Structure 1
Amino acid sequence: MRDRIIPLIKEERGNMLVFSLTIFTFMLLIMFTAVFNFSTVFVGKDKAMNSAQQASMGAIKNVYDAMEQAIIAYDAWAAVNFMPPISPDVAEREHSLRAANPEWAKSEVRYTAIDQVFSEQLAGRPMLMSFVLERLARAKAEIPAVVARILSANQATLENVTIFNGDDRIEVEASVRYKVNKLGLDFFPAYTDTIVQTGESRKIGFLRAL
């Protein structure tokens, strides 16, 4: 009798061990799936935020590229009308800003120089004001397409773009799609959602002078 019972007990213990290991492995898989999807949400948020920020930077570049065109147009007009050009003033201010702020990016120095000179001189130069308003209108019309193109390259979607918000910035809302990865666990609910994040450009300093 004893010889029969002992093998049965050993077999039962073996079965319990296998069962316990199976449950443990299953629980680990569930935890891994949950953590994996949780981390995916954070990755999605980061992607949406970075995409929105890049798009707002692209939009602001479009605005200041238009202002560079306005400077060129005004200088050409000034040359034939015996008026002083604006570009030397911008270049001088740019030089001063670069010397005072060596850590600034080249684009930030240039943009700030334009902001300051325009803010000081637009009121006294009607033709410069005219060129600025004309180029700015074109840039504003192009911004949605510029933003959408940048977001598309980052596999994000444009939700909304606010051109010149209350703080004189370009505000971009971008979204990415999030989907639960079941990793083979069919009992996990099928779930998709949209993660929306907002990015803002630098402040456009000359707008208040218009």
Structure 2
Amino acid sequence: MSGYVLHDYYRSSASYRVRIALNLKGLEYRLHDVSLIEGAQRSEEHLARSAQGFVPVLELDGGRMLTQSLAIIDWLDAAHREPQLTPADPLARADTMARALLIACDIHPLNNLRVLKRLKHQFDATDAQRDDWYRHWVAEGFSALERMAGDGRYLGGDAPDLSDVCLVPQMFNARRFEMDLSPYPRLVAIDAALQALPAVSAAHPDAAR
């Protein structure tokens, strides 16, 4: 295998998730930048990879393109089984998916770049109003996730799982928007434990630029 190509943007939460998953599985890949700020995701070249014009896109050997971060990670779990990021046990799997989807489906879509831009362009939201919007929805999600976290080192227990992979980028963005994280001590501790893993720290946006 010559290695995968990850078409991503360094600060994209969804791309960040896939970088973490690839690193945890020890897979080789190279990055191809698709600048969301410059609008490269709407280029014909990128739309040929992703009908939605989103990142990330994982390009496999032979040119097959995979889209949507959780679908990509699900494929990685099936194609490269160790370490598994979604448990085999049905109940544990349901718990993992509930935490992951809370982040990926309830928090993130309300706060991604295209929604924040829409607030400004359609509703004339100021930067302060935009940031308040962002923090409000993260706080709602984090309040629930704090209660859903167990006593283990990670959200997934003794080893990171899919929900941990989703947590790290959301914590990064919460800090970028200057959120007060003191109400979420378990999430802060779990994030610190995750950041201590070389596979996670190597996926950080500063390392992916």
Task: State the TM-score, normalizing by the size of structure 1.
Answer: 0.24
Higher relative contact order (CA 8 A, sep 6+): 1
Larger radius of gyration: 1
Q: Which has the larger share of strand?
A: 1
Q: Which has the larger share of helix?
A: 1
